[in-house]
Amino acid sequence: MGRKPKTKTERQKNEEAKNKKPNENKMIPRLRGIRDILPDEYRYWDLVLNKAESMIKYYGFLRTETPVLENVALYERSTGKQTDIVSKEMYTFIDRDNERVALRPEATPGLVRSYIEHGMFSLPMQPVKLYWIGNLFRREKPQAGRYRQFSQIDLEIFGEAGAVADAQIILIGYNLFKELQIDAQVQINSIGCPNCRPEYVKKLIEYYKQRPVRNKLCPDCKKRLIKNPLRLLDCKEESCVNARAAAPQIIDHLCEECRDHFVKVLEYLDELNVVYTLNPFLVRGLDYYNRTVFEFWSEDSEQGRQDALGGGGRYDYLVEYMGGRPTPACGWGIGAERMILKIKEKNIPLVDANQPNIFVAQLGEASKRKAMNFFEELRRRGYKAAQNFVKDNLKAQLELANKLAVKLTLILGQKEMMDGTILIRDMESGMQEVFDFKKVYEELDKRLK
């Protein structure tokens, strides 16, 4: 009988793995929950961002920018240490200067800091109306329409306490979805103020402390009952949704000022024909909100599902709490990825505003040089033209012109160079005509009119 072969010990395996050279040519994949946006998809991004900017600017909002990196304390103070964004989802690290730094998880705290730091309360134009477009970072579980790096459009009004501000920002979001052909509904509620909310929270705690109700709560909500009871209404777990069915509604406990404010907001929305649904369980996931809160849901949303397209509300105490002077404020954030997902789901046709209708083709080295100068002149004059000067084969150039679905192809060859002419080919009929090069723009204007 032969000897039984020895099996490798765990230590030997670890040593071999340590000494094994890594494959330097192996591709390094992207991180989980973070994705590339390829050129073809950028058509959707251009549509959404261009439409949003155009509409927001029409209402008098000015663009601003804030850093991707901020002090962790900014979000701990503004958003609340118990909020999931701060406690679970922030990307944080300590830099070489021993400062606690965070990748931006939401836009509003940075905008509030910027408002205070740059003394915007003294600007001649009041209220201050700002918009922001950028990337946010949260370590959430990736799913459809939700990524760990995502883009958001953010709108803020600083210095206006009236209900008209709430109504206008809701109207802008509502109109944006309509312009993009996304069927969206407004879910709206009021969560009161520091004067009336405490009494309501007491009644909410009394309700949830009942044993049959408490037993239905998920582990997170059992903690929220002690730390942040209002967030019990925001949980999406099925058992917690069932538990809140008979919970007291905050709208029944608003003080007179909060009730009047909310009624005015709804009256404005009625006058503006904004379709909305009163949602007594809507509280939003951030602690700094007061009075009006709202979300935009797609028409096929089911209550309780986390598929809101965006949302916001009023935060009248945050600026002062962050070190500024008392300043009423309100705003919203809308996720760009979620809007794009809805556009794709509906197969909404995209119209490319930069679609070329002219292709410049060339044949021969001298013709290529002239064609390149000609193409630059077309650009300066505002024509929408395309080219592929790296190709020398005319057939390959015409094939690309066909793919681009241009109306006309302008061809410069050796003969055209000698004669001072240019060949204009109608791509639909295939007919070609020779024209004096000096009259080419006149002919283009006639054909493209």
Is the residue at 337 inside a domain? yes
pLDDT of residue 82: 62
259: annotated binding-site residue? Answer: no
**Contact of 75 with 136, CB cutoff 8 Å:** no
Partners of 308 in the β-ladder: 297
Tokens encoding 188: 């709206």
Residue 116: give its domain's CATH number. 3.30.930.10
Among residues 345, 373, 391, which one ends one of the domains?
345
pTM: 0.82
* Residue 106 is labelled as binding a ligand: yes
Q: Is residue 237 one of the residues assigned to a domain? A: no
For residues 362 and 337, membership in a common domain is answered with no
In a domain, 306, yes or no: yes
335 and 288 in a common domain: yes
Cα–Cα distances in angstroms (integers) from residue 61 to residues 127, 130, 283, in the given order: 10, 5, 26
Q: Are residues 138 and 280 in the same domain?
A: yes
Are 404 and 328 in a shared domain?
no
**How many angstroms separate the CA atoms of 337 and 143, rounded?**
12
**Is 2 contained in some domain?**
no
Residues 6+ apart with CB under 8 A from 441: 381
| 80 and 46 belong to one structural domain | yes
Residue whose structure tokens are 């909020």: 83
Which residue among 345, 376, 401 closes a domain?
A: 345
Judge whether 156 is annotated as a binding position: yes
Q: Which structural domain, as residue segments, surrounds residue 78?
A: 42-196+254-345
Residue positions counted in the chain? 449
- 284 annotated ligand binder: yes
For 427, the token pair is 């791509």
Question: Both 330 and 372 in a single domain?
Answer: no
Residue 394 burial (C-beta neighbours within 10 Å; 0-12, 13-18, 19+): middle
User: What pLDDT is attached to residue 306?
Assistant: 46
Domain membership flag for residue 383: yes
Among left, alpha and beta (phi > 0; psi -120 to 50; other), residue 404 is: alpha
- The pLDDT value recorded for residue 299 is 74
pLDDT tens string, the chain, 449 residues long: the values are 455 555 666 666 666 666 666 566 788 888 888 888 888 888 889 889 999 999 999 999 999 999 999 999 998 888 876 666 666 788 899 999 999 999 999 999 999 999 999 999 999 999 999 999 999 998 888 777 678 899 999 999 999 999 999 999 999 999 999 999 888 889 999 999 999 888 888 888 888 888 887 777 888 788 888 778 888 887 778 888 888 888 888 888 899 999 999 999 999 999 999 999 999 888 876 778 899 999 999 876 554 444 789 999 999 999 999 999 999 999 999 999 999 988 888 887 777 777 899 999 999 889 999 999 999 999 999 999 999 999 888 999 999 999 999 999 999 998 998 899 999 999 889 899 999 999 999 999 998 87
| Cβ count near 16 (within 10 Å) | 10
For 422, the token pair is 């240019």
On whether the CB atoms of residues 324 and 155 are closer than 8 A, the answer is no
- 256 carries a ligand binding annotation: no
Same domain flag for 162 and 283: yes
Q: Is 371 within 8 Å of 387 (Cβ atoms)?
A: yes
152 labeled part of a ligand binding site: yes
Domain containing 430 — which CATH number? Answer: 3.40.50.800
Same domain, 323 and 190: yes
Residue type (1 letter), 313: G
On whether the CB atoms of residues 440 and 399 are closer than 8 A, the answer is no
Contacts of 323 (CB under 8 A, 6+ apart): 116
Q: What whole-number distance in Å separates Cα of residue 406 and Cα of residue 427?
A: 7
Give dist(CA 324, CA 304) in Å, integer: 36
Where does a domain end: 324, 345, 366? Answer: 345
What pLDDT sits at residue 3?
Answer: 55
Q: Classify residue 203: in a domain, yes or no.
A: no
In the beta sheet, which residues pair with residue 422? 435
User: Does residue 193 contact residue 290 with C-beta atoms inside 8 Å?
Assistant: yes
Same domain, yes or no: 375 and 271: no
pLDDT in tens, 384-426: 999 999 988 899 999 999 999 999 999 999 899 889 999 999 9
* Residue 265 shares a structural domain with residue 412: no
Number of domains in the chain: 2
- pLDDT given at position 303: 45
- Same domain assignment for residues 305 and 387: no
* Residues 339 and 432 grouped into a single domain: no
